[in-house]
Structure 1
Amino acid sequence: MDNQYNYNTPNDQFQNQATGNGGPDFHFGQTDPDFSHRKKEKKPRDHKKAAKIAGGLCFAVAFGVIASAAFQTTNFVGNALFGEKVKTEKSSEKKVDSTSLTRTSSTVTSDVSEVVNSVMPSVVSITNMSVQQVQSFFGGTSSQEVQSSGSGIIVGQNDTELLIATNNHVVEGSTTLTVSFINESSAEAKIKGTDASRDLAVIAVPLENIEEETMGEIKVATLGDSTKLQVGEPVIAIGNALGYGQSVTTGIVSALNRQIDMEGFDAELIQTDAAINPGNSGGALVNANGEVIGINTVKVSSDAVEGMGYAIPISDANETITTLMNKETREQVPEDERGFLGVEITNVEAESAELYGMPTGVYIRNVIEGTGAEKAGLVRGGVITELDGSSVDSMTTLQNLLSYYRVGETVTLTVEMPGKDGSYEEKEVEVVLSEKQTETAIPKR
Structure 2
Amino acid sequence: MPSVVSITNVGTTEFQTFFGTYEQESQSSGSGIIIGKNDTELLIVTNNHVISNAKEISVYFNSDGEDADEDNVISAKIKGTDVNKDLAVISVALEDIPQETLDIVKIATIGDSAMLEIGEPVVAIGNAYGYGLSVTSGIVSALNREVSVQSDGQTITNKLIQTDAAINPGNSGGALLNSKGELIGINSVKFISEDVEGMGYAIPISDVESIIGDLMNKVMRDQVKEVDRGYLGINGVDVTSDVSKSYGMPIGAYVDKVVDGAAAQKAGIQKGDIITKLDGSSITSYNQLKEALSYYAAGETVPITIQRLDGPEYKEITLDITLSTSLQAGVKSEE
Cα shift at 1:376: 1.2
Cα shift at 1:169: 1.1
> Are residues 1:179 and 2:66 paired?
no
Counterpart of 1:132 in structure 2 is 13
User: 138-147 or 433-442, which moves further after superposition?
Assistant: 433-442
> Are residues 1:233 and 2:120 paired?
yes
> Are residues 1:372 and 2:252 paired?
no
Q: Which amino acid aligns with 2:57?
A: L
Counterpart of 1:327 in structure 2 is 218
Describe the superposition over 1:344-381 as per-residue Cα deviations: whole angstroms up to 9, x where unpaired.
22222334323433222222122122321111111111
Q: Which amino acid aligns with 1:435?
A: T
Aligned residues of 2:74 and 2:96 also touching (Cα < 8 A): yes
Counterpart of 1:383 in structure 2 is 274
Percent of pairs with identical residues: 54
Counterpart of 1:66 in structure 2 is none
Cα shift at 1:337: 4.1
DSSP-derived class of the 2:147 partner: coil
In structure 1, distance between residues paired with 2:276 and 2:249:
11
Aligned residues of 1:196 and 1:264 also touching (Cα < 8 A): no
Bigger share in helix: 1
Q: Which amino acid aligns with 1:187?
A: I
Alpha carbon RMSD of aligned pairs, Å? 2.0
In structure 2, distance between residues paired with 1:345 and 1:331:
24
Distance change >3 Å, CA 364–CA 441, structure 1 → 2: closer
> Are residues 1:158 and 2:38 paired?
yes
**What residue ranges of structure 2 are gaps of 5+ in the alignment?**
64-68
Cα shift at 1:403: 2.8
In structure 2, distance between residues paired with 1:179 and 1:330:
18
> Are residues 1:435 and 2:322 paired?
no
User: 174-183 or 224-233, which moves further after superposition?
Assistant: 174-183
> Are residues 1:193 and 2:73 paired?
no
Aligned residues of 2:244 and 2:251 also touching (Cα < 8 A): yes
Counterpart of 2:312 in structure 1 is 422
Distance change >3 Å, CA 180–CA 140, structure 1 → 2: same
Counterpart of 1:251 in structure 2 is 138
In structure 1, distance between residues paired with 2:229 and 2:26:
22
DSSP-derived class of the 2:210 partner: helix
Superposition pairs for residues 46-445 of structure 1, below 5 Å? 120-136=1-17, 138-182=18-62, 184=69, 185-262=72-149, 263-419=154-310, 421-436=311-326
DSSP-derived class of the 2:158 partner: coil
Cα shift at 1:131: 2.6
Describe the superposition over 1:56-107 as per-residue Cα deviations: whole angstroms up to 9, x where unpaired.
xxxxxxxxxxxxxxxxxxxxxxxxxxxxxxxxxxxxxxxxxxxxxxxxxxxx
Cα shift at 1:124: 0.5
Bigger share in strand: 2
Cα shift at 1:176: 1.3
User: 333-342 or 178-187, which moves further after superposition?
Assistant: 333-342
Q: Which amino acid aligns with 2:13?
A: Q
Aligned residues of 2:6 and 2:60 also touching (Cα < 8 A): yes
Kindly indicate whether structure 1 or structure 2 has the higher relative contact order, using CA contacts under 8 Å at least 6 residues apart.
Answer: 2
Aligned residues of 1:226 and 1:294 also touching (Cα < 8 A): yes
Larger Rg: 1
Aligned residues of 1:166 and 1:281 also touching (Cα < 8 A): yes
**What residue ranges of structure 1 are gaps of 5+ in the alignment?**
1-119
DSSP-derived class of the 1:232 partner: coil
Count residues in correspondence. Answer: 321
In structure 1, distance between residues paired with 2:308 and 2:190:
36
Cα shift at 1:301: 2.0
Aligned residues of 1:361 and 1:383 also touching (Cα < 8 A): yes
Q: Which amino acid aligns with 2:201?
A: Y
Cα shift at 1:439: 7.0
